[in-house]
Structure 1
């Protein structure tokens, strides 16, 4: 790699004090050091801004609770040749920036799909989600990004000109599927994406089953916007159990390792899709009444 291009790391935040410091520490510890951090805050009422400033991040007080708009604001205020959109509740593997840059600069890829793995120390349900996610990542690495990701995965590390060519993140999809919406546009343009073998560690894991239900109920309420924007057939394929072929392996691994995890996975998948479906139906009924 002849040059060390600047990476702009964009982090949308909203009351993120519980996880943001760990996230920023993991960025500070990257093996590749030519980056800038841009925090675009949606109106936090906790210590989020103070934590960001402690790490010398550029802070933009957007006061907009829309992750896609926040990300686009960050991109428009950044200087990097590459854009890496990061959630505030993940810890980055120290090699993520280095490996992503190598894929793009040395191998000619337009972007990188960076997967996350649940922090299983958080709760039993995090352990369950880790089994499901590991099976997904195994399939993704085996099949390859473009072939499999057209239905499932999103790309978060991209060349700036690639993002600019499709108009940035889809602002009509604010909180549910915004990464998929962007990737769907990119896939149509025949860009090429790589998958790397290092991950983000998701520390914002649910501690109880009720947290899983509440979160996916909210996602279900937002899904109507995603399906309308992306097309019902495409959106349903990306989020339905039928579109997630890795689940068979997940159940096999859970059964082999721990019968409690097998039962937990069954309960989790049911709770996930049941609560999301109820949320979706609720949103349809509410809109029909307005």
Structure 2
């Protein structure tokens, strides 16, 4: 296929995990891929690691993760864009799987394997698309979007520090872009990042739901989600 996909990895002092992330991109069965790394002027060996691979990169200070992610899509040459965490991985056939369902779609996505600090793993099944009014129906590492959507929606809102990815995907959903899903696993997501901080995360979710006018009572939705996440965290601690 001639469809070009840009996989963007945003990094800052990611020397411990970056190799696996890059290798998972280079090992894709789908070959028309651009790997682009946006580094926030790391002070460890991150840039030295990047230079060992045949990938494009920039390394300079940024104003936060979503500022860096905006730099990514603006630099990208692909027709489609997927963002991968520096501590996450793609399964080998993930891009091929997404491309195969991309006809007549604007956003494609699939399942995710969650990997916890304990080493335990769990498959996160896709939830109903309508839940995008409240939260992501799959992990953002398993979403691939057309580049034109980033342009049309002015990319990520860099005011957000935790859920800028959810905000952008939700805005695409509310604007009526066409979503398609697959039950195949796309990515392996390592649980434990900033979005697991319940109080800050739910405050930001509240701002997004209110600004995007996606639900009638954003406070009650955020309270419900916070309690649900807390109960899940307790469950995983004792599983």
Measured against the shorter chain, the TM-score band is 0.7 to 0.9
Structure 1 contact 152–244 (Cα < 8 Å) conserved? no
CA shift at 1:216, angstroms? 4.0
Matched, 1:110 2:106: yes
* Residue pairs, 1:60-209, within 5 angstroms: 60-105=58-103, 108-119=104-115, 122-123=117-118, 126-127=119-120, 130-131=121-122, 134=123, 136-137=124-125, 140=127, 143=128, 146-153=129-136, 156-174=143-161, 176-196=162-182, 197-202=184-189, 204-206=190-192
Structure 2 contact 7–25 (Cα < 8 Å) conserved? no
Q: Among residues 21, 24, 39, which one is paired with 1:23 in the alignment?
A: 21
If you compute each CA radius of gyration, which structure gives the higher value, 1 or 2? 1
Tell me, in whole angstroms, the C-alpha distance in 1 between the residues paired with 2:155 and 2:220. Answer: 23
CA shift at 1:148, angstroms? 3.1
Tell me, in whole angstroms, the C-alpha distance in 1 between the residues paired with 2:62 and 2:14. Answer: 15
Aligned Cα root-mean-square deviation (Å): 3.1
Per the alignment, do residues 18 and 81 of structure 1 end up closer, same or farther by CA in structure 2, a change over 3 Å counting? same
Structure 1 contact 16–88 (Cα < 8 Å) conserved? yes
Once the two structures are superposed, residues 101-153 of structure 1 have per-residue CA deviations (whole angstroms, 9 ceiling, x without a partner) of 11113xx1111234432235x51xx53xx44xx3x51x52xx4xx32333221
Q: Secondary structure at the match of 2:16?
A: helix
CA shift at 1:25, angstroms? 0.7
- Structure 2 residue aligned with 1:46: 44
CA shift at 1:264, angstroms? 5.0
CA shift at 1:222, angstroms? 5.6
Flag the structure with higher strand content: 2
Tell me, in whole angstroms, the C-alpha distance in 1 between the residues paired with 2:43 and 2:24. Answer: 24
Gaps of 5+ in 1: 207-211, 251-262, 269-290
Structure 1 contact 150–183 (Cα < 8 Å) conserved? no
Flag the structure with higher helix content: 1
CA shift at 1:220, angstroms? 2.9
Tell me, in whole angstroms, the C-alpha distance in 1 between the residues paired with 2:95 and 2:220. Answer: 32
Tell me, in whole angstroms, the C-alpha distance in 1 between the residues paired with 2:110 and 2:222. Answer: 17
Tell me, in whole angstroms, the C-alpha distance in 1 between the residues paired with 2:10 and 2:219. Answer: 24
- Structure 2 residue aligned with 1:32: 30
Structure 2 contact 163–204 (Cα < 8 Å) conserved? no
Tell me, in whole angstroms, the C-alpha distance in 2 between the residues paired with 1:31 and 1:168. Answer: 28
- Structure 2 residue aligned with 1:224: 203
TM normalised by structure 2 equals 0.81
Gaps of 5+ in 2: 212-216
Tell me, in whole angstroms, the C-alpha distance in 1 between the residues paired with 2:165 and 2:157. Answer: 8
Equivalent residues, number: 228
